[in-house]
Chains A and B, each alone.
Chain A
Amino acid sequence: MSELALTPSQTVGPYLSLGLTWPTGYLVVPEDAPGAITITGVVRDGTGAVVPDGMVETWQADAEGRFDHADDPRGASGSGFHGFGRSSTDAEGRYRIVTVKPGALGDGQAPHIDVSVFARGLLDRVVSRIYFPDEVEANAADPLLSSLPPERAATLVAEQVGPAELRWDVRLRGEGETVFLAV
């Protein structure tokens, strides 16, 4: 067996946009793709102040619950769906991702999007998940959501704010602190 020792994490610092800005990074799918939805939200710190220098990344299955990735034991989908979104937060702390709702994976989990948040003051990314408000039954049976107290689980479920728009805020610390995950 192994083992090479791991490289430690460090903060992205305040100047991450120099290296990590992609003008179209927020487009997991084109804005006019069938089934496209927008997920937006505001990242806030322990005082409730917005975080204007952060970055949100998303990773998810396609609408059929598949990944175009060879490590998926069900096989790579071959669809070319890249599943990745990246949005800097703006002066109001807001990020925005355009994507499709992921399908169920068929393993008992409710449809979800994995999220990483990076910012100055975070020495490592923080990881969370976005779940969907129209999946009441699947959410109730989801192994992660059902393991959490209801008020904590609620921090992981997005809010429907328009026909094709969801809102999911991130509270890094303090009142209503988002559930973060060790992966």
Chain B
Amino acid sequence: MKISMKVNGVDYENDIEPRTLLVQYLRETLDLTGTNIGCDTSQCGACTIHVNGEAVKSCTMLAVQADGATITTIEGLANDGELHPVQKAFCENHGLQCGYCTPGMIMASVDMLKNNPNPTEEEIRHGLEGNFCRCTGYHNIVKSVKAAAVSMKGGA
């Protein structure tokens, strides 16, 4: 099937098998391998991206369902080489260790902060419960998101 979508500002048109998952399309067809796959039951959130501005687990969608959509992946988050405040906050607060959950965690955090720019710790923990991390115990992820919220307000 032919599909087209805008990914990280670039227009793509591809002929794909209808059963292709959106995450497979991004990783295998477009070679955007920053989005990781951590499970096969839509639990882990490693594959979280933005579809039309909303955080979505890209293993839960077929690529054809995203036909015509505007998509941002972790590769498209930094602006002209300048890290997004959430990316920066994860680096500055040791919000990652092995880094495998990190792209999904960051994309989910960006979406959460868009909807709730000043979250409490409880709201952060609740907001990220769909994203698993096995390394950090979430402690520094929560700290990173808090720091990002502060710095984004500062910049606004």
Real complex partners, A and B? Answer: no
Which residues on A are within 8 Å of B, measured CB to CB?
Answer: none
